[in-house]
Amino acid sequence: MSTLLRTPDAIKSEVQNRYGQIADENLQIAVADSCCGPSSSASSCCSTDSSGSCGSPLYLGEDLTELPEAAVSSSLGCGNPQAIAALQTGEVVLDLGSGGGLDVLLAARQVGPTGFVYGVDMTDKMLELARTNAAKIGATNVEFRKGELENLPLPDNSVDVIISNCVVNLSPEKENALSEAFRVLKPGGRLAISDIVVDGDLSGFPVSEAQIRAGLSWAGCIAGALTIDQFTHLLESAGFSEIDIEIQHRYNLDDFLGDLPTELSSLEPTVVQNLVGRFTSSAVRAKKQ
């Protein structure tokens, strides 16, 4: 992106530090939470709200009760890839940036024992957390591999579906990440990811796009968000077709919870609202012919 102000390595290191810390906190929960063996009582794995769901409201349609608490509490996505990927029994799935493993474990349940789900993540502590969570529920059709989106540790044409939850926006080298996604998909395979996407562009504000992005955090998923046009163009360049980007949630000031830097929060309230409203959580779908 033209507004990139830091090197890819510096961005990756900021992202790894942030997610490494989150993984550390959740590893303590994972160690303390002895409830989730394959034969343990499923309903005690994570606390449920009055609707019977537990954890993130993003997963209201999913049954999270049989999953380890540390998988749910470490979930940091901006959508629910399960809801957009329409996974089928027997499919091979890859989750880009698998974190504590929640999306992998949900996908593993959907594809069943004849299917398989790989999670790839670059942060060691997240891999440790995800493997601990998978072992806790005795998941046998999953594997977590260390690697980067920009250089995936999987062979060409090896997966049916790629899912991801708010990770492409974290990549400082999105062109490589999307080319790699295309490479590992089988012909006929599909990409179905949740990501932060800018609706329109970041022009027309009293501060420049570069200042806006510099003020926002990369690790918080916002600074590196592509516009719909940029995302579409990069997917096309990588070889994808049937591209569809569907806005699912438009952010507002409450979503930023005081995370806005002063140079942005001190702008006129209507201007700030307009600015944050251009950031959306979107479903991004595409196919490899």
The encoded tokens of residue 101 equal 């493993």
Is 82 near ligand SAM (CB under 6 A)? no
Is 283 near ligand SAM (CB under 6 A)? no
Q: Which residue's CB is nearer to ligand SAM, number 80 or number 232?
A: 80
Q: What is the 3-state secondary structure (H, E, C) of 207-265?
A: CCHHHHHHHCCCCCCCCCCEEHHHHHHHHHHHCCEEEEEEEEEECCHHHHCCCCCHHHH
Q: How far is the CB of 158 from ligand SAM (least distance, A)?
A: 17
Q: How far is the CB of 232 from ligand SAM (least distance, A)?
A: 21
Question: For residue 167, which phi and psi values (nearest 5 degrees)?
Answer: -120, -35
Is 26 near ligand SAM (CB under 6 A)? no
Is 19 near ligand SAM (CB under 6 A)? yes
Sign of CA dihedral 48, 51, 57, 58: positive
Is 275 near ligand SAM (CB under 6 A)? no
Contacts with ligand SAM by CB under 6 A: the residue count is 24
In sequence order, what are the residues at sequence separation of 6 or more whose Cβ sits closer than 8 angstroms to the Cβ of residue 204? none
Within 150-169, which residues bind ligand SAM (CB under 6 A)?
Answer: 150, 165-167
Q: Which residue's CB is nearer to ligand SAM, number 77 or number 115?
A: 77
Is 171 near ligand SAM (CB under 6 A)? yes
Q: Which residue's CB is nearer to ligand SAM, number 195 or number 206?
A: 195
Is 79 near ligand SAM (CB under 6 A)? no
Question: For residue 184, which phi and psi values (nearest 5 degrees)?
Answer: -80, -15
Q: Which residue's CB is nearer to ligand SAM, number 15 or number 117?
A: 15
Is 149 near ligand SAM (CB under 6 A)? yes
Query: 15, 222, 225, 284: which one contacts ligand SAM (CB under 6 A)?
Result: 15
What is the DSSP track for 55-124?
Answer: S-GGGTTS--TTS-HHHHHT---SS-HHHHH---TT-EEEEES-TTSHHHHHHHHHH-TTSEEEEEES-H
Longest dimension (CA), the chain: 59
Is 76 near ligand SAM (CB under 6 A)? yes
Q: In whole angstroms, give the CA distance from residue 7 to residue 83.
A: 34
Indicate the SS3 state at residue 194: strand
Q: How far is the CB of 53 from ligand SAM (least distance, A)?
A: 16
Within 94-133, which residues bind ligand SAM (CB under 6 A)?
Answer: 97-100, 102-103, 121-123, 126
In sequence order, what are the residues at sequence separation of 6 or more whose Cβ sits closer than 8 angstroms to the Cβ of residue 10? none
Q: Using CB under 6 A, list all residues that contact ligand SAM.
A: 12, 15, 19, 75-77, 97-100, 102-103, 121-123, 126, 148-150, 165-167, 170-171
